[in-house]
């Protein structure tokens, strides 16, 4: 069975042709596209199909944004994507269209042991609901309901909930961001843009500057300067973001009672794995007063495979379409 799957983001779109054999999914062809170079997802699909013309029997696309009744207005692109129209283009009876974090959650079952890093072991053999939080360009969140035998992923837009400070420094951070944004969500702090926002705040708060070599508008430049030790302010900013990442992961874990585990996806976590393992993340995660012991019982793991959403879209197509 041939499956066309996609992972659609504001920066890049990945399309892949999978073959489902004996319950396993294998990529036959994969191509990366610059999303902004195209007027619509259908144009990318057409370009892919011109190169790889094998028949498609099922399809599913993961998209960065809310999906309602088979349609999604992309968050960082001027696209309106409609599953029914995509099915018509592909000459299929139906086509899957799901949120990218939901797709990542579907992809967890495809991960190999070397594609997972543990931050906290938790209680061995823990069962129950699980959750997924993923910092990247934005902040995505999803849940995995445990039905007694398997996990059923579902989407969320929890990353857009209000940021809630818990210290004088965080209150000052919130006030700083309120001067720029009507609504300050967790995404404004825990993401690539979040690291840039925290640096901007610390420059004003500390009355100092970043190292001359640092591009303070670029999260990768900030992270590299923190790693190298050349910029103390960048290190403070990264530590703060990692701590807040842990705080919001703990919030999500409590809301979903994620005794089955907490997963970190997205592009940032694998790149800052050493920082996540140094303790600030878990300090923020488990610092929940009377619920601290409950959170410390939950396994916390990082997804290292950057194709997990793509694989999850293919898995969803094989099961649900």
- Given a cut of 80, whether residue 207 has pLDDT beyond it is yes
Domains located in the chain, CATH noted:
2-107+307-320 (3.30.420.40), 113-304 (3.40.367.20)
**pLDDT class of 221 with cuts at 50, 70, 90:** very high
Q: What backbone phi and psi angles, to 5 degrees, belong to 72?
A: -150, 135
Model confidence, pTM? 0.95
Mean pLDDT of 211-221: 97
Q: How far apart are CA 38 and CA 28, in angstroms?
A: 24
Q: Which two tokens stand for residue 147?
A: 């039905």
Q: For residue 3, what pLDDT band results from cuts at 50, 70 and 90? A: very high
Report how many helices (DSSP H) and strands (DSSP E) the chain contains, helices first. Answer: 12, 13
Confidence of residue 187 (pLDDT cuts 50, 70, 90): very high
68 pLDDT above the threshold of 90: yes
Average pLDDT, the chain: 96
Residue 225: pLDDT band (50, 70, 90) is very high
Separation CA 41–CA 163 (nearest Å): 32
Q: What is residue 11's predicted lDDT score, i.e. its pLDDT?
A: 82
Model pLDDT, residue 20: 87
Tens of pLDDT, residue by residue over 99-138, are 999 999 999 999 999 999 999 999 988 899 999 999 998 9
Task: Check pLDDT > 80 for residue 281.
Answer: yes
283: exposed, middle or buried (C-beta count within 10 Å: 0-12, 13-18, 19+)? Answer: middle
Mean pLDDT calculated for residue range 285-301:
97
Given a contact cutoff of 8 angstroms between Cβ atoms, the answer to whether 308 and 108 are in contact is yes
d(C-alpha 225, C-alpha 216), whole Å: 10
């Amino acid at each position: 069975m041939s499956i066309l799957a996609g992972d659609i983001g504001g920066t890049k779109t990945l399309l892949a042709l999978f073959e489902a054999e004996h319950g396993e999914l294998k990529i036959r062809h994969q191509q990366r596209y610059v999303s902004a170079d195209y007027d619509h997802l259908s144009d990318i699909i057409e370009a892919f199909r011109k190169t790889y013309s094998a028949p498609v029997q099922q399809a599913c696309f993961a998209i960065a944004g809310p999906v309602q009744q088979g349609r999604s207005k992309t968050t960082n692109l001027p696209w309106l994507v409609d599953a029914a129209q995509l099915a018509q283009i592909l000459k299929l009876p139906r086509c899957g269209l799901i949120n990218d974090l939901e797709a990542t959650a579907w992809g967890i079952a495809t991960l190999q042991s070397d594609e997972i890093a543990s931050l906290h072991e938790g209680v061995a053999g823990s069962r129950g609901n699980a959750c997924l939080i993923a910092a990247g360009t934005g902040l995505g969140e999803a849940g995995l309901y445990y039905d007694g035998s398997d996990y059923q992923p579902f989407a969320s837009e929890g990353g857009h909930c209000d940021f809630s400070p818990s210290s004088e420094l965080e209150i000052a951070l919130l006030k700083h961001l309120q001067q720029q944004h009507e609504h300050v969500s967790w995404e404004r702090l825990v993401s690539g843009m979040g690291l840039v926002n925290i640096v901007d705040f610390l420059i004003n708060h500390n009355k100092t500057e970043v190292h001359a070599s640092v591009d303070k508008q670029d999260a990768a430049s900030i992270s590299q300067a923190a790693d190298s030790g050349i910029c103390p302010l960048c290190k403070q900013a990264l530590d703060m973001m990692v701590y807040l990442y842990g705080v919001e992961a703990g919030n999500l874990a409590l809301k979903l009672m994620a005794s089955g585990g907490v997963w970190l996806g997205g592009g940032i976590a694998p790149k800052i794995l050493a920082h996540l393992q140094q303790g600030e993340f878990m300090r923020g995660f488990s610092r929940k007063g009377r619920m601290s012991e409950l959170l410390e019982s939950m396994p916390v793991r990082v997804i290292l495979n950057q194709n997990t959403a793509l694989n999850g879209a293919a898995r969803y197509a094989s099961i649900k379409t």
